[in-house]
C-alpha cells in the first residue's frame, strides 16, 4: 500500500474523514499538546490508511489526532491536541 | 476565495454541497500522455459544482474479490466550473493504483471518484498577494491548476514557479509551461534538473536548496503566498528553507506525497 505515490499529509483525509463533518476539516487549526505549535490539519503528517488514521505534529512528531472508522462509526482520539480551532472562511479584501 | 464565474460574491467553498462527500461514477473522456511515465486522464462526471485550484479528488478501485484501494489525486484542471475534470498520474511501477490508471484505463471506462476535496492547499485569483509555486516531480499538478486558473483570470498577481524534475524527458507539461511564460503576463519559471541535463540546458542542475530558493523566490518582505508540493523530503526541505528566509509559516502551504520520510 505504501509504495504508491499517495499523499502523506492531512490534506488526504478530506475525503475519508470529511464526510463526518459539516465543514472542511483540512482548514481546522490544530494546537499541539506537546509543543504548542499551531498547524492546519491539512499540513499534519499522515500515517496509516483510511481504516486507521494517525496525524502527527510537523514540528515535534506528537500524535495530535487518531481516527478509527469501524462499522460506519468514526472514533476520534484528540488527546494530543490542546485545541481544535475552526474559523469560517472569510472574504479576502 | 470564490469560484470564478459563480453568481455569489461571498465565499463559496465547493464543499457546501453534499455531493462532494459521495462517490460518483466518472467516465474517462480523454487520455493524454505527458511523459513516458505520466498520463493525464479527463473524466466527465454526473455532478460537478466547481472547484478551487489545488483541490484533489479521491479515486476508488474495487477488485473482483471486493478488495478496495483509494488514492488521492490533485485536480489539474483550472479552478471554477469546467466540463471535464483532469488528473495527471505518475506511474509507480510497484504501486497498487497508478499502473491501472496509466496503463489499463481506457476511453469510456468508469471508475469511482469523490470530490472536490480539501480547502487548505487552495488558491484563488482573487488573492492579490504574489504567488510563489515550488514543485518537485509530479508535485507540479496542483500548481499547474493554479497557473491555468491564473491564465484565465482577469487579475493575475506576479507569479514565479520553481520546478524540479529528475531529467528533461520527465518534465510534465513542458510545452504548456513554455507557452504560459511566452504570454509575458507576469509569470516567470525557473527549472532544475537533478539527474542530468541536455547540453543546451540553461536552468539549474542540482536539487532545490536554500541558495536556489533565495535566488528565485519572492522576498519575504513582499509577503507572497508560497505553495510547495512534491515528495515528503522535498517539501520539508523547501518549507524549512522558506522559514529560514524569513517567510511566516502561515503563508507557506504544503502538500506532500509518498511514504513519510522517503528519500529520493
> Which of B21, B96, B119 has its CB closest to that of A1?
B96
Residues B186, B247, single domain; the answer is yes
Inter-chain touch A4–B128, beta carbons under 8 Å:
no
How much is the pLDDT for B213? Answer: 98
Residue A71 burial by CB count (10 A; 0-12/13-18/19+): exposed, middle or buried? exposed
For residue B18, what pLDDT is reported?
55
Residue B244: how many other CB atoms lie within 10 Å: 12
3-state secondary structure at position A85: strand
Host domain of residue B99: 14-117
CATH of the domain at B83: 2.40.30.10
Crossing angle of helices B140-152/B174-182, nearest 10°? Answer: 30
A71 and A51 Cβ atoms separated by less than 8 Å: no
Domain termination residue (choose one: B72, B95, B117): B117
Residue-wise pLDDT tens digits, B121-141: 999 999 999 999 999 999 999
Q: How far is CA B48 from CA B45, B51, B79, B107, B131, in A?
A: 6, 8, 12, 20, 27
Q: Is A90 a member of any domain?
A: no
Contact A7 B253 (CB under 8 A): no
On whether residue B233 sits in a domain, the answer given is: yes
CB contact under 8 A, B121 and A11: yes
pTM score: 0.90
Residue B9: pLDDT over 50: no
Domain count, chain B: 2
Nine cell digits for residue B125: 485569483
Q: Range of A34's domain?
A: 10-85
Q: Which three cell numbers stand for residue A84?
A: 481544535
- B100 and B152: one domain? no
H helices, E strands: number in chain B: 5, 11
Per DSSP, the three-state class of B241 is helix
Q: Which of A30, A36, A34 is nearest to A9 (CA)?
A: A30
A69 CB within 8 Å of a chain B CB? no
pLDDT in tens, B191-249: 999 999 999 999 999 999 999 999 999 999 999 999 999 999 999 999 999 999 999 99
B239 and B146 in a common domain:
yes
Structural domain total, chain A: 1
Domain presence at residue B211: yes
Flag whether pLDDT at B79 surpasses 60: yes
Nearest CA distance, A79 vs chain B (angstrom)? 23
Q: Name the 3-class secondary structure at B237.
A: helix
What's the pLDDT at B109? 97
Residues 6+ apart with CB under 8 A from B182: none
What span, in angstroms and rounded, lies between the C-alpha atoms of B101 and B91?
Answer: 8
Q: Which pairing describes strands B131-136 and B159-165: parallel, antiparallel, or unpaired?
A: parallel
The answer as to whether B6 is a domain residue is no
CB contacts of A25 in chain B (<8 Å) are: none
Q: What CATH number is given to the structural domain containing B223? A: 3.40.50.80
Any A CB within 8 A of B243 CB: no
Distance separating alpha carbons of residues B178 and B185, to the nearest angstrom: 13
Q: Is the pLDDT of residue B3 over 60?
A: no
Q: DSSP letters of B62-108?
A: E-TTS-EEEEEEEB-SPSB--SSEEEEEEPPTT-SSHHIIIII--TT
A55 min Cα distance to partner chain B (Å): 12
> Does residue A1 sit within a domain?
no
pLDDT tens column, B80-135: 999 999 999 999 888 889 999 999 999 999 999 999 999 999 999 999 999 999 99
Amino acid at each position: 500500500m505504501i509504495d504508491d505515490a499517495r499523499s502523506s499529509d492531512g490534506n488526504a483525509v478530506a475525503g475519508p474523514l470529511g464526510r463526518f463533518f459539516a465543514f472542511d476539516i483540512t482548514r481546522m487549526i490544530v494546537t499541539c499538546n506537546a509543543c504548542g505549535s499551531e498547524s492546519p490539519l491539512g499540513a499534519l503528517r499522515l500515517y496509516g490508511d483510511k481504516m486507521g488514521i494517525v496525524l502527527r505534529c510537523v514540528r515535534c512528531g506528537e500524535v495530535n489526532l487518531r481516527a478509527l472508522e469501524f462499522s460506519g462509526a468514526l472514533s476520534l482520539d484528540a488527546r494530543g491536541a490542546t485545541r481544535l480551532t475552526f474559523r469560517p472562511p472569510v472574504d479576502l479584501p | 476565495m470564490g469560484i470564478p464565474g459563480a453568481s455569489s460574491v461571498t465565499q463559496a467553498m465547493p464543499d457546501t454541497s453534499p455531493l462532494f462527500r459521495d462517490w460518483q461514477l466518472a467516465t474517462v473522456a480523454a487520455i493524454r500522455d505527458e511523459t513516458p511515465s505520466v498520463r493525464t486522464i479527463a473524466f466527465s462526471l454526473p455532478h460537478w459544482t466547481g472547484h478551487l485550484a489545488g483541490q484533489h479528488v479521491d479515486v476508488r478501485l474495487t477488485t473482483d474479490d471486493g478488495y478496495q484501494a483509494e488514492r488521492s489525486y490533485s485536480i489539474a484542471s483550472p479552478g471554477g466550473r469546467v466540463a471535464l475534470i483532469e488528473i495527471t498520474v505518475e506511474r509507480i511501477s510497484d504501486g497498487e493504483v497508478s499502473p491501472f490508471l496509466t496503463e489499463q484505463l481506457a476511453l469510456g471506462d468508469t471508475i469511482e471518484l469523490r470530490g472536490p476535496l480539501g480547502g487548505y492547499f487552495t488558491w484563488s485569483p482573487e488573492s492579490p498577494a504574489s504567488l510563489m509555486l515550488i514543485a518537485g516531480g509530479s508535485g507540479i499538478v496542483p500548481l499547474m491548476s493554479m497557473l491555468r486558473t491564473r491564465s484565465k483570470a482577469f487579475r493575475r498577481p506576479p507569479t514565479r514557479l520553481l520546478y524540479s524534475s529528475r531529467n528533461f524527458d520527465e518534465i510534465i507539461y513542458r510545452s504548456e509551461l513554455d507557452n504560459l511564460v511566452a504570454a509575458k503576463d507576469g509569470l516567470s519559471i525557473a527549472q532544475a534538473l537533478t539527474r542530468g541535463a541536455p547540453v543546451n540546458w540553461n536552468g539549474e542542475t542540482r536539487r532545490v536548496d536554500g541558495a536556489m530558493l533565495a535566488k528565485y523566490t519572492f522576498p519575504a518582505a513582499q509577503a507572497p503566498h508560497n505553495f510547495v508540493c512534491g515528495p515528503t523530503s522535498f517539501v520539508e526541505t523547501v518549507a524549512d528553507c522558506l522559514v529560514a528566509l524569513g517567510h511566516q509559516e502561515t503563508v507557506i502551504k504544503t502538500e506532500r506525497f509518498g511514504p513519510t520520510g522517503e528519500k529520493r
